[in-house]
Amino acid sequence: MLSADKQFEILKSGCTEIIEEKELKDKLALDRPLNIKFGADPSAPDIHLGHIVVLDKLRQFGELGHKIKFIIGDFTARIGDPSGRSKTRPVLSKEQIDENSKTYQTQIFRILDKKYTEVVYNSQWLENMGLEEILKLAAANTVSRMLERDDFKKRFKENTPIRTSEFLYPLLQGYDSLRLKADVEIGGNDQLFNLLMGRTIQSRYGQAPQAVMTLPLLNGLDGVMKMSKSYGNYIGLDEKTEDIYGKVMSVSDELMYEWAEILSFVDKDAVKSLNPREAKAVMAHNISEYICSKADADRARDHFENVIVGKGVPENVKDFFTAEAEMFLGDLVFASGGAPSKTRAKQLIEQGAVSLSGEVIKDFRKKVKIEDGALLKAGKRFFVRLRKEK
């Protein structure tokens, strides 16, 4: 294992803040692997590009010989993290949370290695907490301390409801650190209050407080809000490589340069030296390769240049079979998979983003004939060949 000083130099790169630096150096000097904690609530099925900023730091810790404790917050997701929120999150059902949790276990191992990563669910210890333990935990903090949080302070001043359960969220996250005996917890810089709560809880229970590392937030595709599943402005790790590549190519030049500074695996020198169009292609390839593979990234690049830019037709277009002789265009787009809903199909059609055999049709109610071999295109990336069932 590398010396504590060498490890610290590697790990501090890209961090917004480390609390406390001396504590982290002392922990790295211990003659044992450290427990590195990171938690994610399964509020939607996808882990996204914004998570990669943290996952890449976890990967560094793991490769340096430390143990990653990846918490899936299946219990805390029932409350919802109030960080940065102007209103209470909608409550998810246990079934939704369980379904979303399943996808997390496969997606994180695109970045992390199972040999140093343990996945745990915080329902294992939070679900069966008794009232006495909850009251003891609640006594570790005060209402005035909670109202120091910017989001709570703002909502309180604006007379916007704050649920008591939201006050519990940081306490429960801190309790996770206690149960895992976390040496270090990592999170986005909007998580600082919650991460510091872990230090408070550990100290209150007589445990050595964790060091805290915060990392910059990645703004989402809109360039305004942080990348978030809740805001719908994200690139999911489980998306098709062509979609990942295409979404990166669609961001603004300003956002491209911002991402290049934050994402450690992006070739910053190339991004800075090329014109924006070429630089964005480099970044799209870097991101696609990191999430998927070089072969997938190469195919996504070729698909983008040939189909999106060159307006060509991709190879191996899938077939859509139907026994219908004719269909309303909106129903056809939806049934063939060109849109996730009939409402979205209607939007695409009215935007002029749907064509049949090269003809753009803007009337979603128009009945179209199902001709064998006809090419249906919806949006920039969806193509199917219509086939008649025999």
Tell me: do 194 and 254 sit in the same domain: no
Q: Is residue 231 part of a domain?
A: no
What angle in degrees, to the nearest 10, is found between the helix axes of 294-303 and 276-291?
140
Tell me: do 131 and 202 sit in the same domain: yes
Q: Is residue 228 part of a domain?
A: no
pLDDT band at 382, cuts 50/70/90?
confident
* Number of other CB atoms surrounding residue 390 within 10 Å: 6
* Number of other CB atoms surrounding residue 343 within 10 Å: 11
Q: What's the distance, CA 14 to chain centroid?
A: 18
Q: Is residue 226 part of a domain?
A: no
Tell me: do 378 and 344 sit in the same domain: yes
Residue among 111, 104, 98, 87 nearest 39 (CA): 104
Tell me: do 63 and 191 sit in the same domain: yes
Tell me: do 100 and 166 sit in the same domain: yes
Residue among 153, 132, 179, 182 nearest 86 (CA): 153
Residue among 9, 16, 62 nearest 35 (CA): 62
Residue with tokens 């593979």: 293
Q: What pLDDT is stored for residue 215 in this prediction?
A: 95
pLDDT tens by residue, 293-318: 999 999 999 888 877 665 666 767 78
Give me the percent of the chain exceeding a pLDDT of 90: 39
Q: Which of 145-149, 167-171, 231-235 has the lowest mean pLDDT?
A: 145-149
Domain boundary residue among 197, 215, 233? 215
Instruction: Say how far apart CA 153 and CA 271 lie, in whole Å.
Output: 40
Q: Which domain holds residue 66?
A: 4-215
Q: What pLDDT is stored for residue 86 in this prediction?
A: 45
Q: What pLDDT is stored for residue 311 in this prediction?
A: 63
CATH number at residue 376: 3.10.290.10
Tell me: do 90 and 176 sit in the same domain: yes
Q: Which of 4-13, 125-134, 374-383 has the lowest mean pLDDT?
A: 374-383
Instruction: Say how far apart CA 43 and CA 4 lie, in whole Å.
Output: 36
Q: Which of 83-97, 111-125, 158-172, 198-212 has the lowest mean pLDDT?
A: 83-97
* Dihedral angle of Cα 33, 105, 287, 195, to the nearest 10 degrees: -50
Tell me: do 22 and 88 sit in the same domain: yes
If you average pLDDT over every residue of the chain, what do you get?
Answer: 87
Domain boundary residue among 309, 341, 359? 309
Number of H helices, E strands in the chain: 17, 13
Instruction: Say how far apart CA 58 and CA 265 lie, in whole Å.
Output: 14
Mean pLDDT of 352-379: 86
Tell me: do 174 and 191 sit in the same domain: yes
Q: What pLDDT is stored for residue 145 in this prediction?
A: 77
CATH number at residue 141: 3.40.50.620
Judged against a pLDDT cut of 70, whether residue 81 lies above it is answered with no
Q: What pLDDT is stored for residue 313 in this prediction?
A: 66
Tell me: do 177 and 136 sit in the same domain: yes
Q: Is the dihedral of CA 198, 200, 205, 210 positive or negative?
A: positive
pLDDT tens by residue, 253-273: 999 999 999 998 898 888 889
pLDDT tens by residue, 153-181: 788 888 887 777 778 888 999 999 999 99
The DSSP line for 140-206 is: TS-HHHHTTSHHHHHHHHTT----HHHHHHHHHHHHHHHHHT-SEEEEEGGGHHHHHHHHHHHHHTT
Mean pLDDT of 57-72: 95
pLDDT tens by residue, 308-361: 665 666 767 788 988 888 899 999 999 999 888 888 889 889 888 888 877 888
Q: Is residue 166 part of a domain?
A: yes
Tell me: do 331 and 295 sit in the same domain: no
Judged against a pLDDT cut of 90, whether residue 213 lies above it is answered with yes
Judged against a pLDDT cut of 70, whether residue 83 lies above it is answered with no
Tell me: do 353 and 302 sit in the same domain: no
Domain count, the chain: 3
Q: Is the dihedral of CA 192, 198, 204, 207 positive or negative?
A: negative
What's the pTM? 0.72
Q: Is the dihedral of CA 73, 76, 77, 80 positive or negative?
A: negative
Tell me: do 163 and 303 sit in the same domain: no
Q: Is residue 232 part of a domain?
A: no
Residue among 49, 34, 100, 84 nearest 194 (CA): 84
Nearby residues of 106 by Cβ (< 8 Å), 6 or more positions away? 238
Q: Is residue 221 part of a domain?
A: no
Q: Is residue 225 part of a domain?
A: no
Judged against a pLDDT cut of 70, whether residue 36 lies above it is answered with yes
Instruction: Say how far apart CA 80 and CA 41 lie, in whole Å.
Output: 8
Q: Is residue 358 part of a domain?
A: yes
Domain boundary residue among 309, 341, 365? 309
